[in-house]
Amino acid sequence: MSEQAQSLTETDIGPNLSNQLEIRGVSRRRFLKFALSITAAMGLPFGMSREVLAALEQSQARPTVIWLHFQECTGCTESLLRATHPTVESLILDLISLDYSETLLAAAGHQAEQALADSIAQNRGNFILVVEGSVPMRDGGIYCKVARKTPQEMLHEIAPHAAAAVAIGSCASWGGVQSAAPNPTEAVGLPVALEREGITRSDGSALPVITLPGCPASPYNLLSTVLYYLTLKKLPALDAKGRPLFAYGHLIHENCERRPHFDAGRFAEAFGDEGHRKGWCLYKLGCKGPETYANCPAIEFGDVGGNTWPVGIGHPCFGCAEQGVGFHKALHEQADVKSVTPPAFFPEIFTEHPGGASLAGAALAGAVGGGGAVYALNAGKKLKKAEAESSAESESESR
């Protein structure tokens, strides 16, 4: 930490994010870059980056977040906390007021439950409910209990008072790994659980649910969603399954860096074969990119950079984000291509010849040129005759 930063800690630190950047060792330049890239990830136009920046810097209204864990592995929380830009990401966490999270809470036992009850009482109708994990519907949900309460009971208690809900990860979105056959707990995602339990907001209107599937969900999609809300004071455009279109609007297949290989018919046929080593398309190894909607090829995954996301490192996408694909289809099963299934036969597109003039080619070019010239000369001659005739005609007419 620099001396200047140290002196800052000693003096007054303002309430805004911008006041804390230097203390956390984040340069202004890096912060601006982050704001720009997150604007792009949200699918907002370049000009909006200024508003996003303002929302980042001057956010006074820190929305309260209550984060519940149901049947899950805490992978989504981990991926958010372990992002390799921890400074920036923890700043984003500072943007929200995380009043209750079983993973991050310092308090324990009754103290923690009290914090939850207090927060709901204070922020009635205004907080955002984040749910991580699926809801077990069998036997009234007894397979998952926190503080002696089943997920159903917790949702009945908390959800009616939330402003909106975010289902983070595939489990909360559509059931995830627990919903894989035979699905012993009858696990479902948050949207289905709310519907089956008949839970609405306290005024009777439906609780809006944003689903961010992925196993784990990409932390940037959560950050983008939160920032979108802070910047524009509204929820982003969602698809029929509640996924933000800016992140889940395109198939992985559409933006995949290996797409040209798919189009050209260059497939890896087995792990470690020549095609696999050359980075060819993984479709025939069971890549589910052609039926999975997510922005992994654009923002990659795991935040390591350098082309690290499953397909980038040579593993077929297994469709973790897509209901009915991830944990449901076998790894080796070929994807049900949403766009165009590749043909079985691809004509070669590379020429074997050196490209210079061949004797036959030169002869043909000469013949065409010569033939054209002869034909033109002939036509010219005929025309001269016709011209003479017509001028003779017009002369005789004028007489």
Partner 1 sequence: MTEVYRPVGGKLLTRQFYFLALLALIAAYFLVRRFIFGIGDVSNLSDGYPWGLWITYDVVTGTAIACGGYAMAVAVYVFNKGQFHPMVRAALLTSVFGYTLAGASIVVDVGRYWQLYNVFLPQYANLNSVMLEVALCISLYVLVLWIEFSPAILEAMKANRALRMLRHILFFFIGVGILLPTMHQSSLGSLLIIAGHKVHPLWQSDIIPLLFLITAITMGYGMVVFESLYASVNLGRKLETDLLAKVAGVIPWLLITYLVLRIGDLTLTGNLAALAEPGRAPILFAGEMALFGYAIVSLLGKARRRHPTHLFWSALAVVLAGALYRFDAFLIAYNPGPGWHYFPAVGEMMITLGVVAVEIMAYLFFVKKTPVLAAGH
Per CB under 8 A, residues contacting partner 1 are 254, 263-264, 343, 346-358, 360-362, 364-365, 368, 376, 379-380, 382-384, 386-387, 390
Of the pair 54, 373, the CB lying nearest partner 1 is at 373
In angstroms, how far is the first alpha carbon of the chain from the final one? 110
Which whole-number Å values give the CA distances from 119 to 73, 116, 146, 277, in the listed order? 25, 5, 17, 54
Which one, 267 or 327, has the nearer CB to partner 1?
267
Q: Which is nearer to partner 1, 86 or 371 (CB)?
A: 371
Nearest CB to partner 1, comparing residues 2 and 391 = 391
Q: Which is nearer to partner 1, 182 or 347 (CB)?
A: 347
Give me 195's structure tokens: 């519907």
Site of tokens 């995602």: 189
With contact defined as beta carbons under 8 Å apart, do 212 and 221 qualify? yes
Distance CA 328, CA 332 (A): 12
Minimum distance from CB of 158 to partner 1 (Å)? Answer: 39
Minimum CB separation from partner 1 for residue 260, in Å? 9
Judged by beta carbon, residue 10 or residue 352, the one nearer partner 1 is 352
- Between 306 and 355, CB nearer to partner 1: 355
H/E element holding 22?
none
**Residue at token pair 């402003």:** 163
For the CB of residue 167, give the shortest distance to partner 1 in the complex, in Å.
Answer: 27
- The least CB distance from residue 240 to partner 1, in Å, is 17
Question: CB 341 → partner 1: shortest distance, Å?
Answer: 11
Nearer to partner 1, 184 or 369 (CB): 369
What is the gyration radius of the CA atoms in the chain, in angstroms? 32
Sheet holding 64-69, edge to edge: 97-101, 64-69, 128-132, 164-168, 209-212
The answer to whether the CB of 253 falls within 8 A of the CB of 342 is: no
In the complex, minimum distance from the CB of residue 278 to partner 1, in angstroms, rounded to a whole number = 17
Least distance in Å: CB of 253 to partner 1? 12
CB 96 within 8 A of CB 159: no
What's the CA angle centered on 371, arms 366 and 373, to 5 degrees?
95
| Cβ atoms of 252 and 297 closer than 8 Å | yes
Cα 257 to Cα 286: distance, rounded to the nearest angstrom = 17
Q: How far is the CB of 61 from partner 1 (least distance, A)?
A: 36
Cβ at position 106, least distance to partner 1 in Å: 48
Of 125 and 366, nearer to partner 1 (C-beta) is 366
In 3D, which of 242, 264, 238, 262 has the Cα closest to residue 252? 262
**Measured torsion, CA atoms of residues 375, 381, 383, 385, in degrees rounded to the nearest 10:** -150
290 preceded by cis ω (within 30°)? no
126 vs 394, which CB is nearer to partner 1?
Answer: 394
Q: What are phi and psi of 210, to 5 degrees?
A: -100, 125
Minimum CB separation of residue 391 from partner 1 in Å reads 9
